[in-house]
Structure 1
């Protein structure tokens, strides 16, 4: 298999790789922080008394702000994959036009770039959306645990 790619495809791969690193780094940092909050002793340290809704919102606001980047990364990754598709097909047709003949090799090279950027874009977007859902559920779960810690209905 020929692993050479056009320069635009390589640039898109680099951007998608950066988005992937950011997504995974944010996720694991948040996830490890939530594991710490799952311990009752830690929750009691942060919330010795029953917090009201505003206090919980203030506490989780920075975490929700970080988590809001996951859908953004997913959307940008899908759009970059689509951009790679358009550039790959456009490049293939441009090269065929410059040569003045239809060539299967040129068309295949452009389609290869197009499909690979789409695949990589989806491989970054899908985990980012999954990470967003996991973090949203963790925030909800920890909020419920904090409230349950201070109620008699355990």
Structure 2
């Protein structure tokens, strides 16, 4: 896949940190596999099989992260001046019960890491895009309709 991925600098740094963390773990997993292998019979060697499974997972995650980092295009939100919600905007809202929530509108690839991060293409993301402080937003989600008032925008 060669499509560009739009990321904030913060998002890219998170990916790079995760990549470094997994790269540091890989030699430890390889060493555990070698130790387990030295114990002999591999058919019933749970440590060996768990290590191989973890190594496979790590290699998949490393490839995924390297690909995303290679295709990343940075969006500089530090000097953005807008009064509307766009990708990268942090949106403070208040629901009908007076509870305050914060949503960070991000790309599809970055959504879901926390409850706060919502995809620009999710029902919440789509409803927030283009809205301003003071706007009321109704969002249809699988469990019903959410109602929010936009209190604050930041980047």
Q: Which TM-score tier does this pair reach, normalised by the shorter chain? A: 0.3 to 0.5
Higher Cα Rg, which structure: 1
- Please state which structure has a larger fraction of its residues in helix: 1
* TM-score under structure 2 length normalisation: 0.34
- Please state which structure has a larger fraction of its residues in strand: 2
* TM-score under structure 1 length normalisation: 0.35
- Higher RCO (CA < 8 A, seq sep 6+): 1
